Amino acid sequence: MQRPSGRAVLHHPDSIGDHGPVNQATHDHEHADLTADAGVRRVLRISIAVIAVATIAGLILWWPSGGASLTTGVDGQGDRVNATVIGDTPVDCAGPDLGESLQCDEIRIEITSGPNSGTTSSFQLFPDASAATPEFESGDRIVVIEFTLGDTGEIAHSFADYQRSRPLIVLAALFVIAVVALGRFQGLRALAGLGVSAVVLFGYVFPALLDGQPPLAVALVSASVIAFAALYLAHGISDTTTVALLGTMAALGLTGILAAIFTAAAQITGLASEDQIYLLVSSEGIDLRGLVLAGIVLGTLGVLDDVTVTQVSAVARLREANPDYTVTDLYRTGVHIGRDHIASTVNTLVLAYAGAALPLLLFYSNVGIGISESITSEIIAVEIIRTLVGSIGLVAAVPLTTILAAVVVTGTGLPRRRTPRPKTRDRTERPTAAAANPSAQWDEFTPRGEDF
């Protein structure tokens, strides 16, 4: 008689089918995402369909009258053309006679783009002791404004900016390589979502705002379009992505409401910077306070999707590790995981806005404006509202997304009946006589006369 082997092979119930055991890696991959039963999945699809219909209705309602377009230039302000510096010569400054001769630098350039490409021209730089005056060297690649003088019809040029396309293209190429090298095909999908975001901003948001459409409504509609594209392209169409999208939209709605309340309470006018004043003068009908709200919503969206996707994935992994976890268990543990993430994310958001306002803060400090006056000035107060409201939205995204994911991953959200586990004996408990001597009979434990 053949003795049985001392080893026992245990197969997972789901890993055995008509063709034998299934590869374990394949089995794990199938459970990588959050899954819901048919009833819950139907609710998710209905919810996401409602948001999609509302987004399409918003696009139709607040579509710019001139249509969606990518802005390429500004009419009436000359044409921007590329040029290369070929030399400079000291000359007497042109203009009204001020009673003394001033020496200017005449910068000679060769036009390298536009209808006058290949021709040479020049412009003058007036003497200025400030460090803001550019210094040119032969070979510098610059951008100039090309315009026609009204009295003579002569073509003239003035300095506008430096050409930066080459370093930016190189940096963008390094960015794409880094994303694709680490993310592979998912990285490509994420880049596609980034492209959709750029098209939405330049093709819809900017024309709609310039057309006088309500900024907060435009921001929420465009944020919904961007969220749909970015999440589904980067993470695929699944219950996990759908729950993350619902959590993102809920947190965005809360962010928009808080931004509207506190910008009104703080009496934000939207006229804190020269750029905003120039925008108001050049384009009538723009709601500058609404632009502040739109900036808060769109700025928060860039961080929200990271938080929501992470929380949904964490809940899915917790349920996969312990199928007996209830909604309460998943929520409590998921929020605990999200605390560390939200702490670092909020710090990142605060430092990003503080870095953007750093020159202004230094200016206030240099001219002797106190910290309290600096904080309550509108231009700084806007950044504070932007930071705190956005941070509240991020904090709210953790419990909102976690509870939604916990309910979905458990099917109906009701606690699952726990499987009773065998009671383990305390290691400090002293073994009984029966345990010490398995062969002992019941008679050995009957009371004896001397025990009484």
Give the residue from 148, 82, 94, 162 showing the smallest Cα distance to 126: 94
**Spatial separation of the C-alpha atoms in residues 410 and 396, rounded to whole Å:** 22
Q: Which of 9-18, 51-60, 114-123 has the lowest mean pLDDT?
A: 9-18
One-letter amino acid identity for 155? I
CB 107 within 8 A of CB 83: no
**Spatial separation of the C-alpha atoms in residues 236 and 212, rounded to whole Å:** 35
Provide the pLDDT for residue 223. Answer: 92
Give per-residue pLDDT as tens, 2-26.
Answer: 444 443 333 433 433 343 433 333 3
Q: Which of 174-178, 215-219, 429-433, 439-443 has the lowest mean pLDDT?
A: 439-443
- Averaged over 38-61, what is the pLDDT? 89
Given a cut of 80, is residue 439 above it in pLDDT?
no
Given a cut of 50, is residue 255 above it in pLDDT?
yes
Give burial (CB, 10 Å; 0-12/13-18/19+) of 238. middle
Provide the pLDDT for residue 36. Answer: 64
Given a cut of 80, is residue 60 above it in pLDDT?
yes
- What are the angstrom distances between the C-alpha of 163 and each of 8, 70, 84, 120? 72, 21, 10, 18
Phi and psi at 135, nearest 5°, equal -115, 125
One-letter amino acid identity for 273? S
Given a cut of 60, is residue 444 above it in pLDDT?
no
Provide the pLDDT for residue 67. Answer: 59
Helices then strands, each counted (H, E), the chain: 13, 7
C-alpha triplet 191, 193, 195: angle, nearest 5°: 70
> Could you tell me the sign of the dihedral formed by the alpha carbons of 268, 274, 279, 282, in that order?
positive
Q: Which residues are CB-neighbours of 162 under 8 A, at least 6 positions away?
A: 134, 140, 141, 142, 143
Provide the pLDDT for residue 112. Answer: 92
Predicted confidence band at 129 (pLDDT cuts at 50, 70, 90)? low
Domains of the chain: 38-62+183-409 (no CATH), 79-163 (2.40.50)
By three-state DSSP, how is residue 429 classified? coil
Provide the pLDDT for residue 81. Answer: 92
**Local structure of residue 18 (DSSP, 8 states):** T
- Averaged over 255-264, what is the pLDDT? 89
Given a cut of 80, is residue 27 above it in pLDDT?
no
Give per-residue pLDDT as tens, 185-233.
Answer: 888 888 888 899 999 998 899 888 888 888 889 999 999 999 999 888 8
Residues forming beta bridges with residue 120, ordered by sequence position: 110
How much of the chain, in percent, has pLDDT values that exceed 70?
Answer: 72
Provide the pLDDT for residue 177. Answer: 94
Higher pLDDT, 5 or 294: 294
**Spatial separation of the C-alpha atoms in residues 403 and 416, rounded to whole Å:** 16
Count other C-beta atoms under 10 Å from residue 237's C-beta.
10
Provide the pLDDT for residue 38. Answer: 74
- Averaged over 361-365, what is the pLDDT? 73
Give per-residue pLDDT as tens, 387-420.
Answer: 888 889 888 999 999 998 888 888 654 444 444 4
How much of the chain, in percent, has pLDDT values that exceed 90?
Answer: 18
Predicted confidence band at 109 (pLDDT cuts at 50, 70, 90)? very high
Which tokens is 425 given?
A: 């004996």
Predicted confidence band at 327 (pLDDT cuts at 50, 70, 90)? confident
Provide the pLDDT for residue 34. Answer: 60
Given a cut of 90, is residue 55 above it in pLDDT?
yes
**Local structure of residue 35 (DSSP, 8 states):** -
Q: Which residues are CB-neighbours of 268 under 8 A, at least 6 positions away?
A: 289, 292, 378, 381, 382, 385
Given a cut of 80, is residue 386 above it in pLDDT?
yes
Predicted confidence band at 95 (pLDDT cuts at 50, 70, 90)? low
